[in-house]
A and B are shown apart, each in its own frame.
Chain A
Amino acid sequence: MKHKRIIIISALFFAAASGLLFIYSFEAIFYFTVPVVERSPEQPIAFSHKKHAGKYSINCLYCHRYANISKVAGVPDMELCVSCHRFIARKKPGIKKLIGYWERKEPVPWIKVHDLPDFTYFPHNTHLRAGVYCDSCHGDVTTMDRIERVSRISMRWCLDCHRERDVSIDCLQCHF
């Protein structure tokens, strides 16, 4: 009978669907696991990379001075900021704030934008040496007034890059 065959086929489809569903229905979850931290939080001082790195094209390493010699890039110490801004643009409200911090001998409580997951070893210097420059992870900061996270910092994201550059994806490279 004709409708019987139709039923069989549709049943096959049903089973197939349920099979694939079981395995791949959760792909969505991958997107929910992106850290829900704000991509571009309000910073205590409205520091503009656009101005510094873009307009005045100051080299990244001038402030983040450890990036090429240490695993940490290094947040510029306040003395560095002040050393310029003791003279430059003193009137600006932001700078006033900075000087205020400096005089109170308080560090500026910057808010972390690029937060590497815990238990992960990411040496900046090695990546720089391998020709993975700042912008490949931090995006083109010369265009950002307020810094924002452009890349999902998740393991799969790391792996993709490592795979396409054919560097080791051995777990112990980053986790030990």
Chain B
Amino acid sequence: MEVLGLFRNIETAAEGVNNLLGENIPEDTVTSLSSVPIPKGTVIKRDHSAWFQWVTLAGGVIGAAAGFLLAAGTAMLYPLYTGDKPIISMFPVGIITYEFAMLFAIIGTIAGMLFQMRLPCFSKKAYDPEITTGMIGISVICDTEQERDKISGILDRSGAVRIRTDEEVK
């Protein structure tokens, strides 16, 4: 269950968050929705440590391996001499390795990022198009009906323009 309160600006949104915390709603159930990145901590004080750079690294390593295999391995499969170049010649293999490493690193980054964002997800969540016109949304995850009503109450009191829950979206 999710409750979403729309606020006109960051100040009021922060206000709302304060009130929520005041009513001791655990902070890690609260999150903010916005159409531009909000400076860290202005609304939600929670740092999301990213780990997907490790996927980038892994991608790079695997890419390098793949590139090396391709350049060196295939040359071994049917060894044909060309000019004075050895069958496995350092520079070409290096270049291919490099290119593949970069390719897989890039793929890894995007993949890892989406993975950590838990995107793509098309399951209906509490949302309001107005967010993309500058409104700030405060969404709270909760389990029970009364909690929900309580939270929406708080948000309403702290000046939310509109309250939405994922039920009504459904």
Direct contact, A vs B (beta carbon within 8 Å): yes
A interface list, Cβ under 8 A from B: 4, 7-8, 11-12, 14-16, 18-20, 22-23, 159, 169, 171
A22 touches B58 (CB 8 A): no
With contacts A7-B115, A8-B51, A8-B54 known, is A15 near B59, CB below 8 A? yes
Query: With an 8 A cutoff between CB atoms, is B7 at the interface?
Result: no
A15 touches B69 (CB 8 A): no
Q: Which residue of A lies closest to B107 (CB)?
A: A18
B62 touches A19 (CB 8 A): yes
Shortest Cβ distance from residue B36 to the other chain A in the assembled complex, whole angstroms: 28
What total of A-B pairs shows CB separation below 8 Å?
46
Shortest Cβ distance from residue A8 to the other chain B in the assembled complex, whole angstroms: 6
Residues in B neighbouring A171, C-beta threshold 8 A: 80
Residues of B61-77 whose CB lies within 8 A of A: 62-63, 65-66, 69-70
Shortest Cβ distance from residue B120 to the other chain A in the assembled complex, whole angstroms: 15
Q: Which residue of B lies closest to A4 (CB)?
A: B51
B107 touches A8 (CB 8 A): no
B63 touches A19 (CB 8 A): yes
For the complex, count residues of B whose C-beta is within 8 A of A: 21
Q: Which residue of B lies closest to A17 (CB)?
A: B62
B interface list, Cβ under 8 A from A: 51-52, 54-55, 58-59, 62-63, 65-66, 69-70, 78, 80, 104, 107-108, 111-112, 115-116
Q: Which of B65, B80, B104 contacts A18 (CB 8 A)?
A: B104
Q: Which of B51, B62, B78, B80 contacts A16 (CB 8 A)?
A: B62
Shortest Cβ distance from residue B69 to the other chain A in the assembled complex, whole angstroms: 7
Closest 4 CB pairs of A and B: A19-B66, A11-B55, A15-B59, A19-B62
Q: Which of A4, A15, A20, A23 contacts B107 (CB 8 A)?
A: A15
Q: Which residue of B lies closest to A21 (CB)?
A: B66
Expressed in whole angstroms, the Cα–Cα distance for A11 and B52 within the complex equals 9
A20 touches B66 (CB 8 A): yes
B55 touches A15 (CB 8 A): yes
Residues in A neighbouring B59, C-beta threshold 8 A: 15
Shortest Cβ distance from residue A127 to the other chain B in the assembled complex, whole angstroms: 21
Residues in B neighbouring A4, C-beta threshold 8 A: 51
With contacts A11-B111, A15-B111, A18-B107 known, is A23 near B55, CB below 8 A? no
Residues in A neighbouring B65, C-beta threshold 8 A: 19
With contacts A8-B51, A8-B54 known, is A23 near B70, CB below 8 A? yes
- Assuming A11-B55, A19-B63, A23-B66, what are 8 further A-B pairs, CB within 8 angstroms? A8-B51, A8-B54, A11-B52, A12-B55, A19-B62, A19-B66, A159-B78, A169-B78
